[in-house]
Structure 1
Amino acid sequence: MNNFLYGLTGDIVTPLDPIYSEARQGFNTAIQQFPLIIVYCATKIDVSNAVIWSRRHCVPIRIRSGGHNYEGYSNGDCTLVIDISQMNDMRIDEGLNELIVQGGVTNKLVYEFVASKGYPFPGGTCPTVGVSGYALGGGWGLSCRNFGLGCDSLKEIELINYEGITIKANRENHCDLFWACRGAGGGNFGVIVSMTFNLPPKVRNVTLIEIDYLNVREQEQEEFLYLWQEWLKTADKRITLIGRVYHSSADGLGMLIRGIFYGSAEAAMEMMADFLALDNAEYNIESMTFLEAVTIIGSVYPPSEKFQSASRFAFRDFTSNERTELVDLIRKRSPGSVFAGISLYALGGRVSEIETDDTAFYYRNAKYIMWLETVWENPIYSKENREWIANRFPYLEAITIGSYVNFPYKELYDYLQEYYGTHVRELKKIKKKYDPKNIFTFPQSIGRTDCCNDCPRYQLKDHMEGEINEMREENYRGFRYVTKR
């Protein structure tokens, strides 16, 4: 084994190591995968060595930062997982108004760092999500209507390419690659080791918005969906919200709103008046620091969970009958499900002010993202919950256009078209130019190809099939670890 690993540097984990079961696990514990090797890279040299090693041994690469890919594409059976979570240095150049971060930083790390200097940051809501995966897929967050998507603040990226060579891409150099990585970059073109962002203006305080509605009726959920689409038509771009209608085992039917407003609490109260007028509204609308607000919002995320989900973009208002149908999707949960919901992620504002072709993120003019989700705890219900999503997705698909690559769904028929729209052709050209050997691939990558029986990668997987099945069986019985919601 030592000879086989020769050439890899960094901290190496194999199935023989005691920490393997923990190290291989991503955020979505409904997905169980068994990589051949996990290498924790601390330097660009470690990453380069890993890429070169994978080509020499014909072992497929997966790239992992926060491990939050909803379909587990940052992991895989018989793969080399290049984990960059140890690469988390950050610095601010106030003269150039820049934030420079390594590829492994998380939302939490960035928020704490920039807030110590008085800045906000257009990051995501979950604290443990990797910023590189977040931003390269577009990057929806609770500051996006004010500052744009995460990718809109990107000024430069640095990646390790298929030859193990470092490339810097910006608007002047490798501008086509830079374009592609702002909306379609996650895992497709190389390993991101550094990102430079433009900093937003400093802020003293923001307003946190939290509204909860418990023990509601289906008709109230339908009214909530109506108010949501009406609110978005005239919403101040300084405010970004998540809305949700849900059905949980703990609370029954409910609704909620979470958001951030770059203005006063008094102004926020006026903006949210229609939502506050709904029955059973319990709210907290309070001025606080940016760090306090994102910390409160992030605190509700569990360390892991079992779930299946699918996303779509809403481009138009839904009729009364359509809103009834949407609410009906979650009226009956799947067997074993503890939570089913439809989440609404507001777009518009600065997001739609940027031209569609300025970045690879295609759905600039959508009103919001819709996300259908089911969560369960006991693994015996995995099949039923996946079928629950599959049975409901066709209706969601019929009234919407396209899917958000950061909320992937593996059952999409034409995933490239759904994620990237008319940008697909250009993205394929850029993929061929910067990764001609198709080294960076995964089940829904831009250059995905299915291996043939003569491919060494296929033979490796076939050779290890017995060992993988044995590990799956041990995991199913709860061997080594148990993850709870």
Structure 2
Amino acid sequence: MNDFLCGLTGDIVTPFDPVYSEAKQGFNRAIQLFPLIIVYCSDERDVSNAVIWSRRNGVPIRIRSGGHNYEGYSNGNCTLVIDISRMNYMYIDECLNQLSVQGGVTNRQVYNFVSSKGYPFPGGTCPTVGVSGYSLGGGWGLSCRNFGLGCDSLEEIVLVNYEGAIIKANRENHCDLFWACRGAGGGNFGVIVSMTFNLPPKVENVTLIEIDYLNVDSQEQAEFLDTWQEWLKTADKRITLISRIYNSAEDGLAMLVRGIFYGEAEAAKQIMAEFLALDGADYNIESMTFLEAVTIIGSVYPPSEKFQSVSRFVFRDFTCVERAKLAGLIRERPQGSVFAGISMYALGGRVSEIGTDDTAFYYRHANYIIWLETIWEESIYAEENRKWTSNRFPYLKAITTGSYVNFPYGRLPDYLKEYYGIHANILKNIKKIYDPLNIFSFPQGIGKSACSNHAALYCPTLPLDKTEGPIDQSGDIRHRGFRYVSKR
């Protein structure tokens, strides 16, 4: 086994390691996969060595930063997981108003860092999401109507390619790769080790918007959907909202609105008048720092969940009948579900001002993203909840167009077309140039997913959630004749 691991650098975890059970977990605990090796990389050299090692040994690669891929594509059975979460150095060039970060930084880390200098950042809502995966998939966040998607601020990326070499891509060098990496999702072309973003102008305060509606019925939820789509037509681009109709074990049928406005609280109240006029609106609209606002919004996210979800893009108004049917989708939760909801993520503004073909993100002119989700706590209800989602998906698909690659759904029949529209063929050609051997593959990758028989020779009987073999006093671990030093 020592010979097998020769060439890997960084901190290594295998199924024999006592921390393996936790180390293999992603955010969505409904998906349990068992990688052969997890290597925690600290620098570009570790990443390059991991890529070279995987090719020499025929072990498929998965790339993990925040571990939030909803379908678990940053993990896989009998794979080498290249984890870059420890690569989180950041630097601001205030002369250029640019932020440089390593590939493993999270939303929370970026927010804390840029806010210390007075900047906001067009990142995501969940604090533990990796910024690299977030921005490469497009990057919807509560600043996007004002500043654009996360990928729109990208000025340069540095990645490790299929040969283990470093490639720098921007508008002048490898511009086709740079184009593809702004919207085509993470993990397709290499391992992102650093990124440079243009920063927005500094701000003193923003306005946090929170509105809740409890004890509602399905008709009120349908009317709320109408208010949402009418409001969005003329909304000030300085404001970006999430709205949601839901059915939870705690609240029953309910609705909410969350958002950030780059302006004063009194102006925000006027802009939100249509929502505040709805019956039962309980609201907080308050001026605060950008960091305070994103921290409050991010505080509702748990460290992990068990869920199934599907996303779509909405390009037109829903009719009265369609709105009623949408509300009806969540009137009954599946068995074991503690939460079922439909969320809407506002687009428009700066997002739609950028040309459809300027980046790989195809759905520039959608009105919003719609997202159907169910959450459960006990694993015995997983299949019931997945069936609930798949039974509702055909109706949602019939009235929408395309899916958001950062909110993936594993049962899409033609996922390349759904995620990338007519950009799919261009992306396949770029994939052939920069990853001709399809080293970077996963179940919904741009290239077909690789399956290695070689890897199976080394894959242990799974699941294995306990240590086998003695641990000596120095912290060295010996398993079945192989020895390495655990740095975890």
C-alpha distance in 2 between matches for 1:338 and 1:459: 42
**Which digits, 9 at most, give the CA deviation of each residue in 1:210-263, with x for residues without a partner?**
000111111110110000000000000000000000000111000000000000
2:226 matched residue in structure 1: 226
1:468 matched residue in structure 2: 462
The 3-state SS of whatever aligns with 1:242 is: strand
- Residues 301-380 of structure 1 aligned to structure 2 (within 5 Å): 301-380=301-380
C-alpha distance in 2 between matches for 1:391 and 1:181: 33
1:129 matched residue in structure 2: 129
C-alpha distance in 2 between matches for 1:232 and 1:460: 50
1:404 matched residue in structure 2: 404
The 3-state SS of whatever aligns with 1:324 is: helix
The 3-state SS of whatever aligns with 2:292 is: helix
Question: 1:460 is matched by which residue type in structure 2?
Answer: A
CA contact (8 A) 2:185 2:405 kept: no
Deviation, structure 1 residue 181: 0.0
For the structure 1 residues 57 and 459, does the alpha-carbon distance in structure 2 shift closer, same or farther, using more than 3 Å as the test? Answer: closer
Deviation, structure 1 residue 468: 1.7
2:424 matched residue in structure 1: 424
C-alpha distance in 2 between matches for 1:304 and 1:310: 18
Query: Which one has more relative contact order, counting CA pairs under 8 Å at least 6 apart?
Result: 2
C-alpha distance in 2 between matches for 1:216 and 1:124: 29
2:448 matched residue in structure 1: 448
Matched, 1:36 2:14: no
Matched, 1:280 2:274: no
C-alpha distance in 2 between matches for 1:329 and 1:36: 40
CA contact (8 A) 2:58 2:454 kept: no
C-alpha distance in 1 between matches for 2:358 and 2:120: 24
C-alpha distance in 1 between matches for 2:126 and 2:8: 32
Question: 2:31 is matched by which residue type in structure 1?
Answer: I
Deviation, structure 1 residue 461: 3.1
1:195 matched residue in structure 2: 195
Q: What are the ranges of 5 or more consecutive residues in structure 2 without an aligned counterpart?
A: 467-488
C-alpha distance in 1 between matches for 2:456 and 2:311: 31
C-alpha distance in 2 between matches for 1:38 and 1:151: 28
Question: 1:104 is matched by which residue type in structure 2?
Answer: G
Aligned residue pairs, count: 466
C-alpha distance in 2 between matches for 1:97 and 1:469: 48
**Which digits, 9 at most, give the CA deviation of each residue in 1:132-165, with x for residues without a partner?**
0000000000000000000000000000000000
For the structure 1 residues 462 and 218, does the alpha-carbon distance in structure 2 shift closer, same or farther, using more than 3 Å as the test? Answer: farther
User: Given the alignment, which residue of 443, 450, 458 partners 2:453?
Assistant: 458
**Which digits, 9 at most, give the CA deviation of each residue in 1:420-473, with x for residues without a partner?**
00001110010000001100000000001454xxxxx13533764x7125669x
TM-score normalised by length of structure 1: 0.95
CA contact (8 A) 2:79 2:455 kept: no
C-alpha distance in 1 between matches for 2:367 and 2:171: 28
C-alpha distance in 2 between matches for 1:206 and 1:247: 30
The 3-state SS of whatever aligns with 2:388 is: helix
CA contact (8 A) 2:67 2:130 kept: yes
Matched, 1:437 2:432: no
1:170 matched residue in structure 2: 170
1:481 matched residue in structure 2: none
1:253 matched residue in structure 2: 253
The 3-state SS of whatever aligns with 2:118 is: coil
Deviation, structure 1 residue 185: 3.9
Deviation, structure 1 residue 278: 1.0
- Residues 61-140 of structure 1 aligned to structure 2 (within 5 Å): 61-140=61-140
More displaced stretch, 272-281 vs 242-251: 272-281
Question: 1:468 is matched by which residue type in structure 2?
Answer: L
1:476 matched residue in structure 2: none
C-alpha distance in 2 between matches for 1:435 and 1:301: 35
1:483 matched residue in structure 2: none
C-alpha distance in 2 between matches for 1:72 and 1:205: 37
C-alpha distance in 2 between matches for 1:139 and 1:460: 33
CA contact (8 A) 2:161 2:189 kept: yes
More displaced stretch, 155-164 vs 276-285: 276-285
Matched, 1:383 2:365: no
1:479 matched residue in structure 2: none
1:4 matched residue in structure 2: 4
Question: 1:234 is matched by which residue type in structure 2?
Answer: T
C-alpha distance in 1 between matches for 2:465 and 2:78: 12
TM-score normalised by length of structure 2: 0.94
The 3-state SS of whatever aligns with 1:358 is: coil
CA contact (8 A) 1:15 1:36 kept: yes
The 3-state SS of whatever aligns with 2:3 is: coil
1:208 matched residue in structure 2: 208
C-alpha distance in 1 between matches for 2:345 and 2:62: 28
Quick one: percent identity of the two aligned structures? 77
The 3-state SS of whatever aligns with 1:421 is: helix
Question: 1:458 is matched by which residue type in structure 2?
Answer: N
CA contact (8 A) 2:313 2:401 kept: yes
Deviation, structure 1 residue 277: 1.1
**Which digits, 9 at most, give the CA deviation of each residue in 1:363-420, with x for residues without a partner?**
0000000000000000000000000000000000000000000000000000000000
CA contact (8 A) 1:77 1:461 kept: no
Deviation, structure 1 residue 280: 1.2
CA contact (8 A) 1:205 1:288 kept: yes
For the structure 1 residues 7 and 459, does the alpha-carbon distance in structure 2 shift closer, same or farther, using more than 3 Å as the test? Answer: closer
The 3-state SS of whatever aligns with 1:49 is: helix
C-alpha distance in 1 between matches for 2:285 and 2:415: 39
2:298 matched residue in structure 1: 298
Question: 1:229 is matched by which residue type in structure 2?
Answer: Q
C-alpha distance in 2 between matches for 1:96 and 1:418: 37
C-alpha distance in 2 between matches for 1:459 and 1:66: 28
Question: 1:368 is matched by which residue type in structure 2?
Answer: Y
The 3-state SS of whatever aligns with 1:209 is: strand
The 3-state SS of whatever aligns with 1:467 is: coil
C-alpha distance in 2 between matches for 1:107 and 1:336: 31
Question: 1:76 is matched by which residue type in structure 2?
Answer: G
For the structure 1 residues 387 and 449, does the alpha-carbon distance in structure 2 shift closer, same or farther, using more than 3 Å as the test? Answer: same
C-alpha distance in 2 between matches for 1:377 and 1:3: 42
The 3-state SS of whatever aligns with 2:293 is: helix
C-alpha distance in 2 between matches for 1:277 and 1:95: 45
